[in-house]
Amino acid sequence: MSGSSGPAKIDYPNELSFYDLSKFSYEAPGDGSYYAEDIRRIFPEDIWQRIFNFDRESIIKKIESTAFINISSWELIKQAINDCEVESVWQTHDRAVKAELKNGEELTAIEPKIDDIMGIAEIAEPQCGRILMGTE
């Protein structure tokens, strides 16, 4: 099995299109000698250079850094809950979590699975007391 990666223009007619996948369309540049010509045809001029100067290694480093920071932040939230330092926790549907500490500080992270934060807070309740929990 082989694959490739590259730019693609994805079009959807409105914010509700995700309910109907048939309304999505995409266009990707061809290979070889058509690539540069297709980039100029498909994409606005202000992003041509970003596509032509794409730095894969830079993107990988940025993604790794973001992942490391989030994993570290998630571990800090779990530790704060287990150390009975958390007053409340909040989560959103995109798994963003905010923990408000008893000292007024806030910690944020992305939880691995939706509601992970709720389970961790419930497990700590016998030792730490009730932690206020909220979700959207």
**CB contact at 8 A, 114 and 93:** yes
The CATH number of whichever domain residue 86 belongs to comes to: 3.30.720.210
Answer yes or no: do 40 and 71 share one domain: no
pLDDT-derived band at 13 (thresholds 50, 70, 90) equals: confident
What digits encode the pLDDT tens for the residues 65-80?
999 999 999 999 999 9
Q: Is residue 2 part of a domain?
A: no
* 67, 72, 108 from 62: Cα distances, Å: 9, 15, 19
What digits encode the pLDDT tens for the residues 93-105?
999 999 999 999 9
What digits encode the pLDDT tens for the residues 22-51?
778 889 998 888 899 999 999 999 999 988
Answer yes or no: do 64 and 39 share one domain: no
The range of the structural domain enclosing residue 15 comes to 9-54
Last residue of a domain, which of 18, 35, 54?
54
Answer yes or no: do 66 and 127 share one domain: yes
Answer yes or no: do 69 and 114 share one domain: yes
Whether 117 has a pLDDT exceeding 60, the answer reads yes
CB atoms within 10 A of CB 116: 16
How many domains are contained in the chain? 2
Q: Is residue 1 part of a domain?
A: no
Whether 62 has a pLDDT exceeding 80, the answer reads yes
